[in-house]
Chain A
């Protein structure tokens, strides 16, 4: 079968072969896209399920954008404990500065401050609960 040419001698309409060829190309493309879409559905659904299962057991990691009260809330620790651990007097009424901003104000590398906060959280987790 010659693609790209019509066959006037056999009485087929002009462009028939091209039309059939293009139709099958289109079906193949839609079929491949369908397989890709199904694969993506399962991959993302599986990832969502796995993350949801682990959500309860894992601690929220400290990130640069978080404020100290936000970190304290996520780990159920008083904010004052964390401020004390990093040697910062919190601004009143609520210190909303991010960890990165505090590190910048203290002229310290952000990863160092994050590590110090993590150590304070670890210590707080090992202390017995208050009566």
Chain B
């Protein structure tokens, strides 16, 4: 699957890149970081124009993110109501909405480029929590352009080491995600122990 995607971008350039990043942003797990790094290498070889590459990657990702947000916005509350009825628990959509408004912006931005695998989930959660669309769009555009410029530039700079660089970036992403999880869990433990004392 990965080989076919990379071969398609290698052959068809920016249009294939646009289609693949759109699908990935909706939630299909595809190696987008490696893909952008490979495109950066192709830019350095003159096979793809830099601005077309950034434009295709940015526009495709934003389109896919908006689709994910729309699915969450119009399908999320109904799904939550069904789950609530199934498990007999109150989910607190209002509380979710308040949390999304408080943390939403930076969370959306970070999950566009630093914690990419979480991006589709944040899109759905933002829509479900009725995070204001214009603010979602703003952070989404900023984050996706950061991702496109950053990874394509890295690919240009390390154009003869793209698969190794893709592997390093993949490991770094998971290390950062695990570190963030450890910080959140550690804070919860610390707060509980403080209350217990």
Give A residues with C-beta under 8 Å from B.
Answer: 27, 30-31, 33-34, 37-38, 40-41, 44-45, 47-48, 51-52, 54-56, 58, 60-61, 63-67, 69-70, 73-76, 94, 96-98, 100-101
Q: From DSSP, what is the main secondary structure of chain A's interface residues? A: helix
Interface size class of chain B, counting residues whose CB lies under 8 Å from the partner chain: 35 or more
CB-CB under 8 A from A61, the residues of chain B are 163
Contact B172 A65 (CB under 8 A): no
A38 to B167, CA, bound (A): 20
**Do A96 and B47 form a contact, CB below 8 Å, given A65-B7, A74-B162?**
yes
Contact of A58 among B164, B172, B189, B192 (CB under 8 A): B164
Contact B189 A73 (CB under 8 A): no
Contact of A52 among B44, B162, B168 (CB under 8 A): B168
Contact A51 B164 (CB under 8 A): yes
The residue of chain B having its C-beta at the shortest distance from the C-beta of A56 within the complex is: B161
**Residues 30 to 78 of chain B near chain A (Cβ within 8 Å):** 41-42, 44-45, 47
Contact of B10 among A33, A48, A70 (CB under 8 A): A70
